[in-house]
Amino acid sequence: MKKIMQFGTGVVLTLSIFSCSNGQESAQTTGVFEDVNVEQFTQHKEGAQLLDVRTPDEWNQGIIEGATMYNFYDADFKDRISKLNKDVPVAVYCKSGGRSGQTGAMLRDMGFKEVYNLKGGIGAWNAAGKPTVKP
């Protein structure tokens, strides 16, 4: 009976070690992907690759200064964003946060280290009185 309990304890310890180890490896290989508010986005966009993933008609209404425009609906969208620098943070926005949220998840899955999505999109940006420029 004592040997069975020792064996059982050994199995539990081994499984615990492996499950902790796997969790740590996951955390190290998974990048940061966060939905952030306007003020946080303002901070994160400094020094980041700033992406506007709206359509050309939407861009004509105004973009955040410094943004690079990538139409989410273009056939080569995923290929184009995959060529960005994975080691430089990415700040991404769209009209209301949906397409940019999907883009952020794609970037994270591609191995980008830091991705920040503007919660509420350019609508939230405009509502906060932040400036835009014409492309």
State the pTM of this model.
0.78
Q: Do 25 and 58 fall into the same domain? A: no
Same domain, 58 and 119: yes
Q: Are 5 and 46 found together in one domain? A: no
Cβ-proximal residues to 92 (8 Å cutoff; 6+ apart), any chain? 50, 51, 52, 53, 100, 103, 104, 107, 115, 116, 117, 118
Expressed as residue numbers, the domain containing 53 is 32-127
The per-residue pLDDT string of the chain (135 residues; one tens digit each, 9 = 90 and over) reads 555 545 444 544 444 434 333 333 333 446 899 999 999 999 999 999 999 999 999 999 999 999 999 999 999 999 999 999 999 999 999 999 999 999 999 999 999 999 999 999 999 999 999 999 999
Do 122 and 71 lie in a common domain?
A: yes
Would 85 be classed as within a structural domain?
Answer: yes
